[in-house]
Chain A
């Protein structure tokens, strides 16, 4: 195998302190297995980039003190309502929040995958999202018909420029990888954009399969090639209690249980202790199974 297959704990140990970590939205396979491992490892100081939104993953990482900065177009628990630890942390000033809008995240990652320093984006002008982003700029469209700065027009077609976002790590969960490290992502192409833009891509998968995922033309376009993949860890059920497209449905009862528990810091601590104990038990079982091979 050209891409190392690690345990989940080894995988998250590759994430350096202070890293900018890009994660997908709830419908696109966040790695809750890696989230638990990051918390268990006592990681702190990470910066989280939601591509472009996040839910329980962000809320867990914020509540556990793993991240101290979040860039997101939204953080909430889907149909289960607001993300309680996120909202509490923002109101308390415990995290730095960089408010953005969905297409700005996608576009800034596209700039990075093209090796460009910035990218223009429509909309935004007159919003407070733009007003509170000193890293974004507004220029006049230099190609505007009959205008533009070159023509000396006072204000011709202003447009926002966003600096490229280059995450240190893209982190997600996917149904399968092959032994070469190619990862099946299906139609969830934001995972490809994340991986293209990021310096390293760490993936947890349900399983590792024999044969090359790139061998069949019918499915090759749904594959993130190993070229972009730094390391893979097998973590069955690694998206739970979120769903994984084409593989497993969301566990709504468990998400509702989390949403209730996390309303208070005490409730969150109790939930987290239980979650980590379960994860440790599962890891021990997996280790024992490996040892028995």
Chain B
């Protein structure tokens, strides 16, 4: 992943944390860790405070009650946002972190569901992300539902997906309809290129209809201040947990 694209994805994820009080980042999530730490630095710069919890870190994780504490906090509503990626993500917001094939007879195994089967229900804003935007990843229907995008009426579910950020574009998740809406295109992408590489149907912004891509916004580029923060501060902050990724951030 080129440094410029990394910076764009990190800032696009950080943009979705504006105004929140507490964000948590799970294991093996370098992009969200950088985004959460960037959002914290942005908040500090204007006198606000964003509590940032990076699992796997000792410097950026205040928890003292073991692995359970994140989940207990989430169930109480103390966590405003969390990030989830997926080996497969479908148009209904379902995430598959387990594998492809006819479970349990999988043809390809992913690491596992982590906390997704729980946090996707309880955290108000679950931000989905995946750098690879292809029909291999963005599928019509996931092979295994680690976390469903929506739930039947009557299911306790204060949380759920709110957005999906990929290497090509950003979507918002329409919880009522259980569908994604394209909200911005990264530089160099068009509606056609996104459609070509997306295995599910999605909605266009209100009023877009068949008008083409002219009015679909471009994903905002990182500001000079963002890039400075990423190089001078965030690279150092993520290095403890993600040494390889930190080198990429230092080069933006």
Q: Which residues of A contact B (CB under 8 A)?
A: 25, 27-28, 51-53, 72-76, 78-79, 82-83, 86-87, 90-91, 93, 97, 99-104, 106-107, 110, 121-132, 155-159, 187-193, 245-246, 252
Chain A contacts for B111, CB-based, 8 A: 53, 74-76, 82-83
The contact of A74 among B30, B106, B113, by CB within 8 Å, is: B113
- 8 interchain pairs (CB within 8 A)? A25-B67, A52-B114, A73-B112, A103-B68, A122-B156, A128-B145, A132-B103, A192-B66
The contact of B148 among A52, A79, A126, by CB within 8 Å, is: A126
The contact of A123 among B28, B120, B144, by CB within 8 Å, is: B120
Closest to B112 in A: A74
Q: Is the CB of B165 closer than 8 A to any CB of chain A? A: no
Chain A contacts for B66, CB-based, 8 A: 106, 187-193
Give the interface centre of A122, A127, A130, A187 by most chain B CB atoms within 10 Å: A127
Asked if A128 and B243 make an inter-chain contact with CB atoms under 8 angstroms apart, the answer reads: no
Asked if A106 and B28 make an inter-chain contact with CB atoms under 8 angstroms apart, the answer reads: no
A101–B117 Cα distance when bound, in Å, is 6
Asked if A106 and B146 make an inter-chain contact with CB atoms under 8 angstroms apart, the answer reads: no
A12–B109 Cα distance when bound, in Å, is 30
The contact of A159 among B119, B122, B156, by CB within 8 Å, is: B156
Chain B: interface residue total (CB-CB under 8 A): 52
A76–B111 Cα distance when bound, in Å, is 5
**Count of A-B contacts with CB under 8 A?**
156
Min CB gap A164→B, angstroms: 15
A87–B105 Cα distance when bound, in Å, is 12
Q: Which residues of B contact A (CB under 8 A)?
A: 27-28, 30, 55-56, 58, 63-69, 71, 75, 97-99, 103-122, 144-148, 151-152, 154-156, 242-245
Q: Top 8 nearest A-B pairs by Cβ distance?
A: A189-B66, A74-B112, A123-B118, A103-B71, A76-B111, A190-B66, A101-B117, A106-B68
Asked if A78 and B28 make an inter-chain contact with CB atoms under 8 angstroms apart, the answer reads: yes
Closest to A105 in B: B67
Min CB gap B250→A, angstroms: 16
Asked if B154 and A126 make an inter-chain contact with CB atoms under 8 angstroms apart, the answer reads: no
Min CB gap A189→B, angstroms: 3
The contact of A90 among B27, B71, B106, B152, by CB within 8 Å, is: B106
- Beyond A79-B245, A82-B111, 12 extra complex contacts between A and B, CB < 8 Å: A74-B112, A86-B109, A91-B108, A101-B113, A102-B67, A110-B68, A124-B118, A126-B145, A127-B117, A128-B145, A159-B156, A189-B65
Chain B contacts for A156, CB-based, 8 A: 154
Chain A contacts for B118, CB-based, 8 A: 101-104, 121-124
Min CB gap A24→B, angstroms: 8
Give the interface centre of B68, B119, B120, B122 by most chain A CB atoms within 10 Å: B68
